[in-house]
């Protein structure tokens, strides 16, 4: 109603010659912009209220069930979690993604559904490493489908969490008789990190967040090998991280690549020199190497950006 009255009032001013048609259109556009911002703020508050309400309901249910949960049979526990997972995923599909707030809410419901699906399998026998690994794989699959459908940061974070948990659980359950499972876990985690880095730089994930997750996975995978007999692999992984991060940063600067490259070269150099020559000297040379790496990378990036600017018309 207010929009119609505003339009009518502007048309009256235009017809009397007191306002030009262009000015009337500008006023109407500005009014619509202001009303849309107000509506957006109301939607955000409504969304936050919904999240808080869901958290309160979940806490209340946990308190109510905590006393009697132990007395419920495993089949009943499995059924409850499975039913919750199905209902939450259906609710996510019903919510849809017609607006940003609906997409975020549907993504959240998908993540909670994946957690419930994971718990449904774990409650069958929680002390079985193989079953826990299977449960994490199922949770990963549900999270993956939810992420494909809604593409939210929360979905990507959940996918990363399940991937890391699967790497640790899989290394322990698939190779239970190995003396040092850290090698297997590091291999799995490093492979996942490399795949994550590739997908993030091919626009499958949010690039900055995906690069941060990948750098963290790769760095941890290298550090897990430092305490064993194959610590030379730690140095090779640190060098590889620094080189790849530098190359990717020169193509499209993102702060996780810069931080990951500097962390890898600083820690790797410090560990190598500290192991061979001494602790304090290793720390100093580690900082020196990272400084040289940082300066060279910056010069290369500036030269490359300058070439790109010169190729484009209208540069300043």
Q: What is the pLDDT of residue 58?
A: 65
End-of-domain residue from the set 177, 212, 236: 177
Final residue of a domain: which of 177, 202, 229? 177
In a domain? residue 23: no
Tell whether 281 is covered by a domain: yes
pLDDT at 307: 44
- Residue the block writes with tokens 């949010």: 206
Side-chain-side CA neighbours of 4 within 13 Å: the count stands at 1
On whether both 88 and 192 belong to a single domain, the answer is no
| Claim to verify: residue 145 and residue 166 sit in the same structural domain | yes
> Is 198 inside a domain boundary?
yes
3-state secondary structure the chain: CHHHHHHHHHHHHHHCCCCCHHHHHHHHHHHHHHHHHHHHHHHHHHHHHHHHHHHHHHHHHHHHHHCCHHHCCHHHHHHHHHHHHHHHHHHHHHHCCCCHHHHHHHHHHHHHHHHHHHHHHHCCCCCCHHHHHHHHHHHHHHHHHHHHHHCCHHHHHHHHHHHHHHHHHHHHHHCCCCCCCHHHHHHHHHHHHHHHHHHHCCCCCCHHHHHHHHHHHHHHHHHCCCCCCCCHHHHHHHHHHHHHHHHHHHHCCCHHHHHHHHHHHHHHHHHHHHHHCCHHHHHHHHHHHHHHHHHHHHHHHHHHHHHHHHHCCCCC
Q: Which residues of the chain have pLDDT under 50?
A: 1-2, 38, 306-316
**Is residue 127 located within the same domain as residue 238?**
no
If asked whether residues 252 and 206 sit together in one domain, one would say yes
How much is the pLDDT for 314?
Answer: 38
User: Is residue 263, in this structure, part of any structural domain at all?
Assistant: yes
pLDDT of residue 312: 36
CA 89 centroid distance within chain = 20
What does the mean pLDDT of the chain come to?
76
Structural domain span for residue 148 = 74-177
Q: Please give, one letter per residue, the 3-state secondary structure of 49-96.
A: HHHHHHHHHHHHHHHHHHCCHHHCCHHHHHHHHHHHHHHHHHHHHHHC
Domain co-membership, 106 together with 156: yes
65-79 tens-digit pLDDT: 666 777 778 888 888
Question: What pLDDT shows up at residue 184?
Answer: 83
How many distinct structural domains can be found in the chain? 2
Residues 245 and 303 in one domain: yes
Are 194 and 290 part of one and the same domain? yes
| Any domain includes 95 | yes
Going 233 to 239 to 240 to 245, the CA torsion angle's sign is positive
Q: What is the pTM of this model?
A: 0.70
DSSP label of 128: -
Q: Are residues 140 and 196 in the same domain?
A: no
Count of CB atoms within 10 A of residue 187's CB? 16
User: What pLDDT does 276 receive?
Assistant: 65
pLDDT tens digits for range 7-21: 777 677 777 777 777
- Going by C-beta distance under 8 Å and a sequence separation of 6 or more, which residues neighbour residue 233? 186, 222, 225
Domain boundary among 146, 177, 208: 177
238 and 131 together in one domain: no
Token pair of 287 as six digits: 């900082």
Does 144 share its domain with 260?
Answer: no
pLDDT at 310: 38
Q: Same domain for 207 and 296?
A: yes
Indicate whether 3 belongs to any domain. Answer: no
Burial 296-315 (b: 16+ CB within 10 A, else e): ebeeebeeeeeeeeeeeeee
């Amino acid at each position: 109603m207010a929009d119609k009255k505003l339009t009518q009032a502007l048309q009256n001013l235009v017809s009397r010659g007191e306002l030009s048609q262009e000015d009337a259109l500008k006023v109407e556009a500005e009014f619509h912009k202001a009303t849309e911002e107000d509506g957006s703020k109301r939607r955000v508050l409504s969304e936050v209220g919904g999240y808080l309400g869901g958290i309160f309901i979940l806490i209340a249910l946990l308190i109510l069930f905590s006393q009697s949960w132990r007395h419920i049979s495993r089949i009943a526990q499995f059924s409850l979690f499975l039913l919750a997972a199905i209902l939450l995923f259906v609710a996510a599909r019903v919510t849809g993604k017609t607006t940003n707030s609906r997409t975020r809410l549907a993504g959240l419901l998908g993540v909670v559904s994946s957690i419930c699906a994971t718990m449904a399998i774990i409650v069958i026998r929680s002390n079985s490493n193989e079953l826990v690994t299977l449960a994490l794989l199922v949770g990963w699959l549900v999270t993956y489908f939810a992420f494909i459908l809604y593409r939210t940061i929360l979905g990507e974070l959940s996918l990363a969490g399940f991937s890391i948990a699967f790497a640790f659980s899989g290394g322990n359950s698939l190779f239970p008789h190995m003396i040092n499972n850290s090698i297997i876990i590091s291999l799995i985690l490093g492979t996942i990190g490399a795949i994550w880095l590739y997908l993030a730089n091919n626009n499958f994930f949010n690039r900055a967040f995906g690069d941060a997750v990948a750098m963290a996975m790769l760095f941890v995978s290298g550090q897990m090998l430092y305490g064993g007999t194959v610590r030379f692999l730690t140095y090779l992984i640190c060098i590889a991280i620094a080189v790849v991060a530098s190359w990717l940063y020169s193509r499209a600067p993102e702060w996780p690549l810069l931080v990951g490259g500097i962390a890898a070269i600083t820690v790797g150099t410090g560990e190598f020199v500290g192991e061979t020559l001494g602790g304090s000297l290793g720390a100093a040379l580690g900082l020196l190497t990272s400084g040289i790496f940082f300066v060279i990378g910056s010069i290369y990036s500036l030269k490359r950006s300058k070439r790109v600017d010169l190729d484009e018309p209208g540069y300043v």
